[in-house]
Amino acid sequence: MPIKIDVPQNGENAVAERKRDSGHWVYGVHAVKALLERRPEGVVSAALLRGSRASTLPEIERELASRGIPVEHLDRTALDRLTGGGTHQGVAVRTRGLGEIGIRDLESLVLERGRALRLLVLDQVQDPRNLGACLRTADAAGVDAVVVPRSRSAKLTPVAVKAAAGAAETVRLARVSNLASALHWLKEAGVWVVGADADTPRSLHDAQLDAPIAIVVGGEGHGLRRLTRELCDEIVSIPLRGTVASLNVSVAAAVFLFELDRQIRGRSPARRPA
């Protein structure tokens, strides 16, 4: 079923375009190496700590030089300021943009991917480290996009980018003004919406998961909001054997996404409940 969305010309997508064009600083040895391996064409420039004796920096500098990426050597104060005081390990690179998309781009993605679509939806995840970890998980699990509400959600800060370990460059991040409306039109488009809730008795292992699908996980502490929960086609929980009552949002997302992948790989598409 085609998706019809009324979005003003200067609406969300225009904001997303400006976000893409402005770019971001990615810092930390692991994150920078991952970016240079996966999408080196997205790196505009680099900053290295002047006089550093870290054994990893010469290798990174040679890689930057081989790709013709300009490098500036900064003192620690300047590099700390550039990265907002984050743990940069002596290296930061500026990118062309991290692929944040608006609702029109998300609509196109849904139509393009069809029955293969896999989405991860984060309902007000506010810690940038958790956002980054979820992007990293989404990349590993082959997710097409991570969808978040525009308000009360973590931004793609340098902290989030570092936690993503390169995945902020490979996974689309879709910001929507109204998450409930987005879930509604996803359902209208034939996407099966599955919510994660620790308090529901139905186990994830009893669910029949298949694409096109959107896995929805709640924010830190409060879980799924009431309206988000009501819009899910199915609510399931992760069976926990120990004493803890819940898992970190990125860990829960990983369990759901890899169970989805296991089921898709292990059998033909299953018939879902009517």
Neighbouring C-beta atoms of residue 268, cutoff 10 Å = 6
For the stretch 174-202, pLDDT in tens is: 999 999 999 998 999 999 999 999 889 99
Q: Are residues 63 and 171 in the same domain?
A: no
Report H helices in 9-102.
Answer: 12-22, 29-38, 57-66, 76-82
Angle between the N-to-C axes of helices 179-188 and 103-113, in degrees from 0 to 180, rounded to the nearest 10: 20
Cα dist from 157 to 24, 25, 168, whole Å: 8, 9, 10
Tokens 């570092």 found at: 162
For the four alpha carbons of 203, 205, 208 and 209, in that order, the dihedral sign comes to positive
Q: Are residues 85 and 211 in the same domain?
A: no
Beta bridge partners of 72: 47
Q: Are residues 197 and 153 in the same domain?
A: yes
Question: Contact 235/203 with Cβ under 8 angstroms?
Answer: no
Average model confidence (pLDDT) for the chain? 85
Spatial separation of the C-alpha atoms in residues 217 and 229, rounded to whole Å = 10
Q: Are residues 85 and 151 in the same domain?
A: no
Q: Which of residues 62, 95, 128 is at a domain's end?
A: 95
- Residue 97 is predicted with a pLDDT of 55
Residue 252: φ, ψ to 5°: -60, -40
23 pLDDT band, cuts 50/70/90, is low
Q: Are residues 60 and 108 in the same domain?
A: no
Beta bridge partners of 175: 148
Range of the domain at 77: 25-95
- Residue 82 belongs to domain with CATH number: 3.30.1330.30
- Residue 21 is predicted with a pLDDT of 40
Spatial separation of the C-alpha atoms in residues 64 and 72, rounded to whole Å = 11
- The distance from CA 121 to its chain's CA centroid, rounded to whole angstroms, is 9
* Span of 114-118, 141-145, 212-216, 245-249 with lowest mean pLDDT: 245-249
Q: Are residues 230 and 203 in the same domain?
A: yes
User: At residue 4, does pLDDT exceed 50?
Assistant: no
Spatial separation of the C-alpha atoms in residues 31 and 94, rounded to whole Å = 12
- Residue 272 is predicted with a pLDDT of 54
- Residue 185 belongs to domain with CATH number: 3.40.1280.10
State the pTM of this model: 0.73
Structure tokens belonging to residue 274: 């009517």
Count how many domains the chain has. Answer: 2
Spatial separation of the C-alpha atoms in residues 170 and 174, rounded to whole Å = 13
Neighbouring C-beta atoms of residue 99, cutoff 10 Å = 21
For the stretch 64-116, pLDDT in tens is: 999 999 999 999 999 998 888 888 999 999 887 556 788 888 889 999 999 89
Percent of the chain exceeding pLDDT 70 equals 88
